[in-house]
Amino acid sequence: TQLLEQSPQFLSIQEGENLTVYCNSSSVFSSLQWYRQEPGEGPVLLVTVVTGGEVKKLKRLTFQFGDARKDSSLHITAAQPGDTGLYLCAGGAGDYKLSFGAGTTVTVRA
């Protein structure tokens, strides 16, 4: 059973469209991270959120941590082909164990 549920599992959109990826859990996390992974490479950290209700922006990417610190979302505005990849959320509970979601595969078509 996945501690963190990501949805959708797959997302294919046209360049210029917006998209949102969700990460949900029944557990409370002290922090939540988002990673992007490209084929043949390891995941690369995009952002860490630690406060309930926190919103962080990274250029066209907006990350939100739920008020109860059980869920998070990643919104991409005007997606570009370079945004293609596997997006992973990961929750930390302060016990040295980071739990990952199964990931959302995003494909942006030119």
Partner 1 sequence: NAGVTQTPKFQVLKTGQSMTLQCAQDMNHEYMSWYRQDPGMGLRLIHYSVGAGITDQGEVPNGYNVSRSTTEDFPLRLLSAAPSQTSVYFCASSYSVGRNTIYFGEGSWLTVV
Q: Which two tokens stand for residue 94?
A: 């302060």
Contact at 8 Å (CB) between 37 and 52? Answer: no
Restricting to residues 10-69, name those near partner 1 by CB under 8 A: 30-31, 33, 40-45, 48, 50
Cα gap 60→39, rounded to integer Å: 22
**CA-based max dimension of the chain:** 42
Q: In angstroms, give the least distance from the CB of 16 to partner 1.
A: 29
Among 76, 90, 106, 108, binds partner 1 (CB under 8 A): 90
Note the Cα 17 to chain centre separation in Å: 18
- Dist. CA 55–CA 8, nearest whole Å: 21
Q: Judged by CB under 8 A, does residue 107 bind partner 1?
A: no
Comparison of 82 and 94: residue with beta carbon closer to partner 1 = 94
In this chain, which of 14, 26, 59, 94 binds partner 1, going by CB under 8 A?
94
79 binds partner 1 (CB under 8 A): no
- Provide Rg for the chain, Cα atoms: 13
Residues within the interface to partner 1 (CB under 8 A): 2, 4, 6, 9, 30-31, 33, 40-45, 48, 50, 88, 90, 92-94, 96-103
